[in-house]
């Protein structure tokens, strides 16, 4: 059996705001759609499933992020995930310039949870809250300079 990573799916409160955030960071919007019907109910496991979706891709073509905004059933607000909670933890991206990426994030009202750290003179990285409270890790490989 072969297996290939396809994407990470994240439910968001405001699809347009999430698309703007991730495209400003450098992802490309591949497509948008509205999904519903029997196939969607079966695949997702929700009766009456109806959602607006968007697929974004990293510039290297290796990573995809599927964002969805539920129309029905209504999205359920939850407390933002903390880094030590069980479940979906974060989405992580390598960036060429962390300072520039943080400037982009700040334009969307997103700031580091605590600050910027340097790991063994190899990586400069931070966690920040993205749209809908998503934890986003941004990391710059300092060895690539």
Residue-wise pLDDT for 112-144, tens only, equals: 999 999 999 999 999 999 999 999 999 999 998
pLDDT digits (tens, 9 = 90+) for 67-109: 999 999 998 888 888 888 888 778 999 999 999 999 999 999 9
Residue 79 has a pLDDT of 85
Q: Which residue has the higher pLDDT, 51 or 43?
A: 51
H-only helix segments in 1-145: 15-25, 38-44, 98-107
Residue 41 has a pLDDT of 87
User: pTM of this prediction?
Assistant: 0.88
């Amino acid at each position: 059996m072969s297996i290939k990573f396809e994407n990470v799916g994240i439910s968001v409160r405001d699809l347009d705001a999430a698309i703007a955030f991730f495209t400003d960071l450098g992802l490309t919007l591949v497509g948008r759609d509205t999904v519903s019907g029997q196939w969607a109910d079966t695949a997702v496991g929700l009766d009456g499933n109806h959602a607006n979706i968007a697929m974004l891709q990293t510039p290297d073509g290796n990573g995809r992020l599927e964002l969805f905004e539920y129309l029905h059933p209504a999205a359920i607000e939850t407390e933002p995930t903390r880094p030590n909670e069980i479940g979906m933890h974060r989405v992580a991206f390598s960036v060429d310039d962390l300072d520039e990426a943080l400037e982009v994030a700040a334009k969307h009202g997103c700031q580091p949870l605590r600050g910027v750290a340097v790991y063994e003179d190899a990586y400069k990285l931070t966690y920040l809250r993205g749209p809908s409270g998503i934890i986003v890790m941004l990391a710059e490989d300092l060895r690539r300079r």
